[in-house]
Amino acid sequence: MYSEKVMDYFMNPRNLGEIENAAGMGKVGNVKCGDIMQIFLDIDENQVIVDAKFKTFGCGAAVATSSIATEMIIGKTIHEAMQITNKSVTEALEGLPPLKIHCSLLAEEAIRAALWDYSQKTGTIIEGLEPPKDEDHDHHHHDHDDDD
């Protein structure tokens, strides 16, 4: 069901961990599956992302997409990082099963949330960046929406 590349990133995740005092941290979750993803960014004075790490409590696709997303984002500027989308991470993983697309969306959202955190802390404007949907990261909704 998963591509070899997804399995590889799931079994041997790159950039697993966290960055203390990260310049930007994004934490997002999917209420339906309960998976949670965190992305940490280290950003230098030239607005270049010099390091990225992730922590994901979730399915294989969530682990793989967040891991490959950290690899894709390192070396990019905060503005170039906006080009990383759920589509580009899915392509980099040679595809995901249709039921797993929401997992790659989580990676895109986590990156944007980390960039948002950085932009708020530093007063930097990143074009096209919108605030995360749920700014209160510790707040959980318990309402169910069964037919999707």
Q: Which residues are catalytic?
A: 33, 103
Closer CB to ligand FES, 20 or 146, in the complex: 146
Find out whether 66 and 52 touch, Cβ atoms under 8 Å: no
Applying CB under 6 A, the span of 7-15, 57-65, 82-90, 121-129 interacting with ligand FES comes to 57-65
Q: Does 35 bind ligand FES (CB under 6 A)?
A: yes
Q: Which parts of 118-147 interact with ligand FES (CB under 6 A)? A: none
Residues 6+ apart with CB under 8 A from 8: none
5: number of Cβ within 10 Å: 14
Q: Does 58 bind ligand FES (CB under 6 A)?
A: yes
Chain CA centroid to CA 126, Å = 17
Helices (H), ranges, the chain? 4-11, 60-73, 86-92, 101-122
Find out whether 33 and 123 touch, Cβ atoms under 8 Å: no
Among 61, 110, 111, 129, binds ligand FES (CB under 6 A): 61
Q: Which parts of 83-102 interact with ligand FES (CB under 6 A)? A: 100, 102
Residues contributing to the site for ligand FES (CB under 6 A):
30, 33, 35, 58-59, 61-62, 100, 102-103, 106
